[in-house]
């Protein structure tokens, strides 16, 4: 018996392709039943999020099953195999288990440490259990990944920073706006203290070729 993972993610595929390979949007339970009917895998769990589509299966022979999973990925999502193949990865046995542990812990996420993925992995396993495509091998594997993900979050500081792509984007934009205000103020001759003071009041200076052309003054502040 082998453990096999075939999938694609934000690390290997552009967002346009990931949007087309979306089992969740096409009914994940139906996808699991369709995969089981092919007979190449004894057990199957599909983790499908906006950033990944991964099929974890227990099978007798890894290579024939890998080829069949690639065809299934193409057929079920109605995407040409030639478009998918360059972006697909596959790993077996211990490496597949390690990968799932990394996913559940948030180590393989676009924003490292984001907490949503553990819940998504649990949901994927629950759907597979209800569809009766998860058996003894995958049940044991996924429950171990839940424990690993929980332990990483409780025993390390991994989740202390940005917890989602949107959170990270807002933090980055805030930093960029503040840095731009200070740079603009200094560029046209204001000292650092005045720049910081004006920034704290909420002044935003719009520049053209580093020449102030207009001012936006919030509330009752006058320039």
Q: Which of 28-32, 118-122, 159-163 has the lowest mean pLDDT?
A: 159-163
Please report whether residue 223 resides in a domain.
Answer: no
Domain span at 192: 165-216
Q: Is 222 inside any structural domain?
A: no
- Dist. CA 26–CA 222, nearest whole Å: 56
Q: Which of 17, 29, 50, 168 is catalytic?
A: 50
Q: Taking a C-beta distance cutoff of 8 angstroms, is the pair 63, 15 a contact?
A: no
pLDDT at 81 over 80: yes
> What pLDDT, on a 0 to 100 scale, did the predictor assign at position 179?
52
Count of structural domains, the chain: 2
Q: Looking at the domain assignment, is residue 100 inside a domain? A: yes
Tell me if residue 50 is catalytic: yes
123 lies in the same domain as 173: no
Residue, of 215 and 54, whose pLDDT is higher: 54
207 in the same domain as 113: no
State whether 144 and 201 are in the same domain.
no
Task: Tell me the per-residue pLDDT of 133-157, one tens digit each, with 9 for 90 and over.
Answer: 999 999 999 999 999 998 888 888 7
Element at 75 (helix H, strand E): helix 62-77
Q: Is 12 found in the same domain as 117?
A: yes
With both helix axes pointing from N to C terminus, report the angle between 93-105 and 116-130 in degrees, rounded to the nearest 10. Answer: 130
User: In the 3-class helix/strand/coil scheme, how is 134-201 assigned residue by residue?
Assistant: CCHHHHHHHHHHHHHHHHHHHHCCHHHCCCCHHHHHHHHHHHHHHHHHHHHHHHCCCCHHHHHHHHHH
pLDDT digits (tens, 9 = 90+) for 167-213: 545 445 554 554 555 555 445 444 444 444 444 445 444 443 444 43
Compute the average pLDDT of residues 121-126: 96
CATH of residue 44? 3.30.460.30
What pLDDT score was predicted for residue 174? Answer: 52
How does residue 61 score in pLDDT terms, banded at 50, 70 and 90?
very high
Structural domain contains residue 110 = yes
Q: What percent of the chain has pLDDT over 90?
A: 58
Identify whether 198 is part of a domain. Answer: yes
Please check the confidence at residue 124 and state whether its pLDDT lies above 70.
yes
**Mean pLDDT to the nearest integer, 89-100:** 96
Residue 88 is classified by DSSP as -
What pLDDT is attached to residue 78? Answer: 93
Specify which residues 6 forms β-bridges with.
Answer: 55, 90
Query: Does a structural domain hold residue 221?
Result: no
pLDDT at 208: 39
């Amino acid at each position: 018996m082998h453990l096999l993972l075939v999938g694609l993610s934000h690390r290997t595929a552009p967002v346009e392709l990931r949007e087309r390979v979306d089992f969740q949007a096409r009914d994940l339970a139906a996808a699991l039943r369709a995969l089981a009917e092919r007979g190449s895998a004894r057990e199957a769990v599909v983790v499908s999020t906006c950033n990944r589509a991964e099929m974890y299966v227990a099978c007798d022979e890894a290579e024939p099953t890998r080829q069949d999973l690639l065809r299934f990925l193409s057929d079920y999502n109605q995407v040409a195999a030639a478009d998918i193949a360059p972006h697909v990865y596959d790993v077996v046995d211990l490496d597949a288990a390690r990968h799932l542990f990394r996913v559940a812990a948030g180590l393989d996420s676009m924003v490292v440490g984001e907490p949503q993925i553990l819940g998504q992995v649990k949901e994927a396993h629950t759907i597979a259990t209800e569809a009766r495509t998860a058996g003894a091998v995958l049940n044991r594997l996924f429950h171990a990944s839940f424990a690993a993900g929980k332990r990483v979050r409780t025993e390390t500081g991994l989740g202390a920073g940005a917890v989602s792509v949107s959170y990270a984007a807002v933090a980055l934009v805030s930093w960029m706006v503040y840095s731009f205000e200070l740079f603009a103020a200094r560029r046209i001759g204001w000292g650092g203290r005045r720049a910081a003071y004006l920034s704290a009041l909420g002044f935003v200076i719009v520049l053209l070729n580093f020449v102030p052309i207009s001012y936006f003054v919030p509330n009752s502040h006058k320039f």
